[in-house]
Amino acid sequence: MKAMKWSVLLLAVVVVLALGAHQLLAADAKTITGTASCGGCTGVVKGCCLMLTDSDGARWVLRGKKDVLDSSFGDRKSGKTMTATLAGKPVTKKGKDGKEYKEVKVSEVKENS
């Protein structure tokens, strides 16, 4: 009887750890999707940068490696939507226009068709 209680307890611990690991992996793969524009040209930040505006109206200024951002930067004026994979935690800041935006490091940006 005691062995059965320990095995059930051990199974419960394994399940909790597995769910926790799954949540961590899911958090690492978070993406944002929005209409692309230039953060500088729209008056959000100083200087040109790739920015996405999501369906809720939140503005996301994307930061990251030059090669990751440059491939999509040229397409920012097309009005198409893009999806960015987050590589860091978003930081909320105030823009030049006084409104909030989120700045986040990304590992990948893809143009949606």
**Does a structural domain hold residue 5?**
no
Q: What confidence tens digit (pLDDT) does each residue in 43-89 have?
A: 999 988 899 999 999 999 999 988 888 878 777 767 789 999 999 99
Two tokens, residue 77: 């004026």
Q: What is the structure's pLDDT at 26?
A: 46
d(CA 70, CA 92): 23
Two tokens, residue 64: 């990251």
Please, is 113 exposed, middle or buried when counting C-beta atoms within 10 Å of its C-beta (0-12, 13-18, 19+)? Answer: exposed
Q: Tokens 């105030």 correspond to what residue?
A: 94
Q: Is the pLDDT of residue 3 over 70?
A: no
**Does a structural domain hold residue 19?**
no
Q: What is the structure's pLDDT at 72?
A: 80
d(CA 88, CA 25): 13
**Does a structural domain hold residue 90?**
yes
Rg (Cα) of the chain, in Å, rounded?
20
Q: What is the structure's pLDDT at 68?
A: 83
Assessment of whether the complete model's pTM goes beyond 0.85: no
Specify the number of domains making up the chain. Answer: 1
**Does a structural domain hold residue 67?**
yes
